[in-house]
Amino acid sequence: MLYIGDVEIEDTFAEMFPMWASRILITADNEKWALTAAQAATGFGTSIIMSPAEAGIERLVSPNETPDGRVGAIIQIYHRTRLELKIQMIFRIGQCVLTCPTTAAFDALPEAKRKVKIGPALRKFGDGFEVRDKLNGRDIWRIPVMEGEFIIENLFGVKPAIAGGNFLILAKDKATGLKAAEEAVEAIKKSKAKVVLTFPGGICRSGSKVGSLKYKLPASTNHLFCPTLKDKVPETALPKDVNSVYELVINGLTVEDIKEAMAVGVKAAASVEGVKKITAANYGGKLGPYKIYLKDII
């Protein structure tokens, strides 16, 4: 058995699957508006099971890292295909960034070989008054709006990426489990991994399994990890002293990014007293081709 302190780390793996990703830099006059636009643009982006895309905020960036010398926030958006991703980028930038006070939008994936025409689609909002220009070597559109102008880069990179990295925190009670999950989220945010945690606050309390035992659903509650079902489900995965489980789900640009995020997250969660065990969700290799074994990251 593997342990971090007194916490058992189950010898299992997180199972992941391929998606297409974009990485967008939103700048604004201050952090408040950069984050406001980032939060709006990544809303309803938890799981592709029901959401129109998966999305999250990667990190804040300082003015010396942005094309226009203003504070920024980097977001990532994921989808199954490039076309569906492009549509979501247009919708989310158009409805949530263009509309937000003081913001601009730039590509944060310049190394990507594939590019999508987001600027040419949104520049039409300018109704013929839009102007193509250059900003610090970037090809941009200046779109007139009532506030002044909205600047958006012409092309945005998209690339194959990975979704579904995860680990589960098994704790003695809800308060302990939530504290451990919060510590894990903060540790991941402080890492250099290019990842996003798509669930609210980075934490999922309702981990799912593929399909359903009773209904025609693509996913349903992971009954093996529900504490209220310990005495009703003979094959429960929960020890008697576990009464709450939280899951962190991680999307990243590469497998290595997700490995780094999982490693710091697992270690942070295991440091909280009252955490009994850490495991990961998988479906025997039937969901996706990528696997990260917990024993390899600790």
Instruction: Report the CATH number that the domain containing residue 174 is assigned in CATH.
Output: 3.30.70.520
Looking at the fold, whether 93 and 190 belong to one and the same domain comes out as no
Looking at the fold, whether 92 and 213 belong to one and the same domain comes out as no
Specify the DSSP class assigned to residue 101: T
Query: 235: buried, middle or exposed (CB in 10 Å: 19+, 13-18, 0-12)?
Result: exposed
Residue 187 lies in domain: 2-15+162-297
Domain count, the chain: 2
Residues 6+ apart with CB under 8 A from 24: 41, 74, 75, 76, 77, 89, 93, 105, 106, 107, 108, 156
Give the pLDDT score at 248.
Answer: 98
Six-digit token pair at 253?
């640009």
Last residue of a domain, one of 144, 159, 174: 159
Looking at the fold, whether 78 and 197 belong to one and the same domain comes out as no
Looking at the fold, whether 30 and 152 belong to one and the same domain comes out as yes
Looking at the fold, whether 6 and 69 belong to one and the same domain comes out as no
Please answer whether residues 193 and 23 qualify as being in contact, where contact means their C-beta atoms are separated by less than 8 angstroms.
no
Give the pLDDT score at 43.
Answer: 98
Six-digit token pair at 92?
């989310």
Tally the C-alpha atoms within 13 A of residue 240's C-alpha that lie toward its C-beta.
0
Last residue of a domain, one of 134, 159, 184: 159
**3-state class (DSSP) for residue 47:** coil
Task: For residue 294, give the H/E element and its range.
Answer: helix 294-297
Give the pLDDT score at 41.
Answer: 98
Looking at the fold, whether 237 and 173 belong to one and the same domain comes out as yes
Give the pLDDT score at 284.
Answer: 75
Give the pLDDT score at 44.
Answer: 98
Give the pLDDT score at 287.
Answer: 75
Looking at the fold, whether 224 and 154 belong to one and the same domain comes out as no
Give the pLDDT score at 283.
Answer: 81
Looking at the fold, whether 6 and 47 belong to one and the same domain comes out as no
Pick the closest to residue 131 from 116, 141, 145 (CA basis).
Answer: 141
Looking at the fold, whether 105 and 177 belong to one and the same domain comes out as no
Looking at the fold, whether 242 and 254 belong to one and the same domain comes out as yes
Task: For residue 35, give the H/E element and its range.
Answer: helix 31-41
The tens digit of pLDDT for each residue in 118-129 reads: 999 999 999 999
Segments in the chain below pLDDT 70: none
Looking at the fold, whether 39 and 124 belong to one and the same domain comes out as yes
Task: Give the span between the Cα atoms of 237 and 11, in whole angstroms.
Answer: 14
Pick the closest to residue 160 from 87, 200, 111 (CA basis).
Answer: 111
19 — phi, psi (to 5°)?
Answer: -145, 170
Give the pLDDT score at 115.
Answer: 98
Give the pLDDT score at 286.
Answer: 72
Last residue of a domain, one of 159, 182, 198: 159
Vertex 44, ends 40 and 45: CA angle to 5°? 100
Looking at the fold, whether 204 and 272 belong to one and the same domain comes out as yes
